[in-house]
Amino acid sequence: MTSKLDNFDTVALSEDKRAIQIIDQTLLPREMKMISLTTREEVYNAIKKLSVRGAPAIGVCAAFGVYISALHSTSDDFFSDLLSAAAYIRSSRPTAVNLMWAVDRMVSVAEKNKDRLREDIVNALLSESEKIYDEDIECCRRIGENGLALLHEGDGILTHCNAGRLATVKYGTATAPMYLGHERGYNFRVYCDETRPLLQGARLTATELHMAGLDVTLLCDNMSGALMRTGKINAVIVGCDRVAANGDTANKIGTSMVATLAARYGIPFYVAAPTSTIDMSTPGGEDIKIEERDADEVTRMWYESPMAPDGIKVFNPAFDVTDHELITAFITEKGVVYPPFADNFISLFEKE
């Protein structure tokens, strides 16, 4: 892959605003290919198959998806067709709350404009989806500033999965302080877990940080304990897919293992989270629906021949829940939130 990632948007509207353009992340780092989405089915499949992935990017793509569905609707019953497109896109993945959050925002704009001309509704949806896109960029930029204040020059930072620019419109969440620190000469050493089974760490995080010139070292998922024990890691920063009201956090499978290790070695464990990922309607981690994916991702994918016996039982949850007690703080666009999370999230939202 020769092209610089910075030349491409993870997810954006085309120039004529009639299609969504995304980087097909299933092909990275082998191939850098943009794909165009114009139908609700294409949007649904791109999210489900992880061509576009990462909670904030999924939210932005879904918002554009609702707009595009309305724009291209041929139904006589425009409004109910719009609602059914929104419900369909909303069901493409279960865990990342940004998906539901973004679709619900779009539906509420549609409902507010229900009695207007079809063209006006479409325009209102375009403007709301562009707002969600712009807000994502601004949130990540602020997360970068707030996160950088917690770090020190020369720190070793571990991250898991990809909460990078490929998971958002720009900068990423967990990676935003890393990019900013890099710009400001902090000389961070970033360690990145490969993140089985879909290798978002190796294929995406390692790729984007390496291309941006950061000092990045790739690890298999069972190696971070060795580094933590020898003092090479000063902080862990991960992203998240849904934060419950008590602070329990769903993120890529393996995150809770990293958090447990970090607690053992007294290393701060930070979760970078736009406030759109905090779901105050979900009381605790046990209430978060965890996506389970195909066994093939564990047994066959990435291998020339299967690496497990035919018919073996496979457990393949895409996410796990990290208990809030293991989390040092949440880095949000509105500031850093420390325990007790249940109370401090309420104050955070009251600030609005």
Determine, following the binding rule CB under 6 A, whether residue 132 of this chain makes contact with ligand MRU.
no
Q: Is 324 in the site for ligand MRU (CB under 6 A)?
A: no
CB of 116 to ligand MRU, least distance (A): 35
How many other C-beta atoms can be found within 10 angstroms of the C-beta atom of residue 313?
6
**Please, what is the minimum distance in Å from the beta carbon of residue 251 to ligand MRU?**
5
Minimum distance from CB of 90 to ligand MRU (Å)? 16
When binding is defined by CB under 6 A, the residue of 13, 86, 143, 167 that contacts ligand MRU is 167
Q: Which residues are tagged catalytic?
A: 241
Which range touches ligand MRU (CB under 6 A), out of 52-60, 61-69, 223-231, 279-287?
52-60
146 binds ligand MRU (CB under 6 A): no
Q: Which amino acid is at 113?
A: N
174: tokens are 């967990």
318 binds ligand MRU (CB under 6 A): yes
Structure tokens at 282: 């979900």
Beta-sheet strands, E only, within the chain? 11-13, 20-23, 34-37, 156-159, 189-193, 215-219, 235-238, 242-244, 249-252, 269-272, 278-279, 319-322, 329-332, 335-337
Q: Which of 97, 132, 227, 240 binds ligand MRU (CB under 6 A)?
A: 240
> 241, 244, 276, 245: which is closest to 255 by C-alpha?
241
CA–CA separation, 326 vs 168, rounded Å?
Answer: 25
Q: Should residue 331 be labelled a site residue for ligand MRU when binding is judged by CB under 6 A?
A: no
Q: Nearest distance from residue 163's CB to ligand MRU, in Å?
A: 4
Does the CA dihedral 160-163-167-171 come out positive or negative? negative
For ligand MRU, the binding residues in 200-229 under the rule CB under 6 A are 200
Residues 243-282 within binding reach of ligand MRU (CB under 6 A): 251-252
Contacts of 47 (CB under 8 A, 6+ apart): 53, 58, 61, 62, 89, 92, 93, 99
Residue numbers at the binding site for ligand MRU (CB under 6 A): 50, 53-56, 96, 161, 163, 167-168, 173, 200, 239-241, 251-252, 318
